[in-house]
């Protein structure tokens, strides 16, 4: 399937969540990643085609649009497209729905902060920022070829939080990257303790074929990587619970997006927090809830 055909083909969605790609490929070459080799250079889809795909999904009953890309913040860097114009065009579609912005490389966000602040100001956009830091150690970030420092990441988070105090922050961390000594690991721990992300995706480093990182020396023993991963998991669980507990007692409008376990459904707040609600709510509907409890992974809501 060519790039051009991919987005315009008719789509059928299970449920009310529609993943829609805005681009393919990547402009960077992080040393551990195969994306550029596997998917090629960045190709951004035309805004009109993306907007048409969103309109089609919403007309088919979807209430959550997940805009996906290897790096959402790179959208348009190959063809002059503007992110804020894309989002405005998408959000012109009438009806109630929410847009989740996909993962963004801090390196690109640094260059396009103003545009992205405008994007997150749109009431249809979830205040959910997925900004993978990967490490709190600048030497490792250099080896990973990430193109930013830990300080850059901290500054970006601070900019978004000062504009949107309740924004949900999700990040990614690689443990056991070649050359990660105890000091480097501790820098990552300290960064997470300082920034307190709501969600952290932890990956144990595993060398991929045809990547620069595969050739790096100073491999970290598997046992050490496992122990670091366990330690970070424990820390991040504690942070997540603390962040979620802030919601307890609050009243929120929740968009019900999927069936949950047992006799429950799951919805999302405007900050993309998952809320477990009773199953007498219809998937696709908007309900008002009071948050009565919180766990590290979700909130528990009572209908009001």
Domain shared by 89 and 153, yes or no: yes
Q: At what angle do helices 182-195 and 222-245 cross, to 10 degrees?
A: 10
CA distance 175 to 115: 32
User: Domain holding 298: CATH number?
Assistant: 2.40.50.140
User: Residue 98: which domain range?
Assistant: 3-245
pLDDT of residue 1: 40
**To 10 degrees, what angle do helices 47-59 and 83-91 make?**
30
Same domain, 115 and 263: no
CA dihedral over 147, 164, 75, 206, signed as positive or negative: positive
The Cβ-side half-sphere exposure at 138, using a 13 Å CA radius, reads 7
By CB neighbour count within 10 A (0-12 exposed, 13-18 middle, 19+ buried), where does 191 fall?
buried
- The verdict on 219 and 293 lying in the same domain is no
- Calculate ∠ Cα 34-36-40, nearest 5°: 135
Task: Return the axis-axis angle of helices 83-91 and 113-120, rounded to nearest 10°.
Answer: 10
Rg of the chain taking only CA atoms, in angstroms: 20
Are 51 and 188 contained in the same domain? Answer: yes
The answer to whether residues 71 and 176 belong to one domain is: yes
Contact 44, 23 (CB under 8 A): yes
End-to-end CA distance of the chain: 48
3-state secondary structure of 11: coil
Tell me the C-alpha distance between 122 and 149, whole Å.
Answer: 29
Q: Specify whether 155 is located in the same domain as 298.
A: no
Residue finishing a domain among 245, 264, 281:
245
pLDDT in tens, 220-270: 999 999 999 999 999 999 999 999 999 999 999 999 999 999 999 999 999
Domain boundary among 218, 245, 272: 245
Is residue 191 within 8 Å of residue 232, measured between CB atoms? no
pLDDT at 30: 86
As a whole number of angstroms, the distance between CA 44 and CA 26 comes to: 10
Q: What is the pLDDT of residue 14?
A: 82
Q: Tell me what pLDDT residue 12 has.
A: 75
Question: Which residue(s) pair with 107 in the sheet?
Answer: none
257 plus 225 within the same structural domain = no
pLDDT number for residue 7? 58
Number of domains in the chain: 2
- Give yes or no: residues 182 and 279 share one domain: no
End residue of a domain, out of 227, 245, 263: 245
pLDDT of residue 277: 97
> Are 149 and 282 found together in one domain?
no
Pairing of strands 264-268, 251-259: antiparallel
**Residues of the chain predicted below pLDDT 70:** 1-10, 36-39
């Amino acid at each position: 399937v060519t790039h051009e055909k991919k987005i315009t083909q008719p789509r059928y969605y299970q449920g009310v969540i529609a993943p829609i790609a805005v681009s393919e490929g990547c402009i960077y070459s992080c040393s551990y990643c195969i994306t550029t080799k596997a998917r090629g250079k960045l190709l951004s889809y035309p805004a009109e085609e993306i907007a048409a795909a969103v309109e089609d999904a919403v007309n088919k009953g979807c209430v959550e649009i997940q805009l996906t890309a290897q790096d959402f913040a790179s959208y348009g860097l190959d063809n002059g497209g503007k992110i804020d114009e894309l989002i405005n065009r998408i959000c012109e579609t009438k009806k109630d729905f929410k847009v989740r912005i996909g993962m963004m490389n801090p390196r690109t966000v640094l260059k396009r902060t103003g545009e992205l602040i405008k994007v997150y100001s749109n009431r249809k956009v979830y205040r959910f920022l997925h900004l993978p830091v990967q490490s709190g150690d600048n030497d490792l970030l250099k080896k990973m070829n990430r193109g930013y420092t830990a300080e850059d990441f901290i500054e970006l988070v601070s900019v978004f939080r000062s504009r949107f105090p309740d924004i949900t922050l999700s990040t990614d961390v690689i443990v056991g990257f070649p050359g990660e000594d105890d000091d480097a690991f501790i820098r990552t721990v300290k960064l997470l303790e300082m920034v307190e992300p709501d969600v952290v995706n932890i990956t144990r480093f595993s060398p991929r074929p045809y990547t620069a990182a595969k050739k790096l020396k100073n491999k970290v023993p598997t046992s050490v990587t496992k122990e670091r991963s366990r330690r970070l998991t424990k820390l991040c669980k504690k942070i997540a619970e603390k962040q979620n507990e802030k919601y307890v007692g609050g009243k929120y409008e929740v968009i019900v997006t999927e069936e949950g376990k047992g006799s429950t459904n799951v919805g999302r707040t405007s900050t993309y927090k998952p809320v477990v609600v009773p199953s007498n709510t219809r998937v696709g509907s908007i309900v008002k809830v009071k948050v009565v409890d919180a766990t590290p992974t979700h909130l528990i809501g009572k209908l009001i």
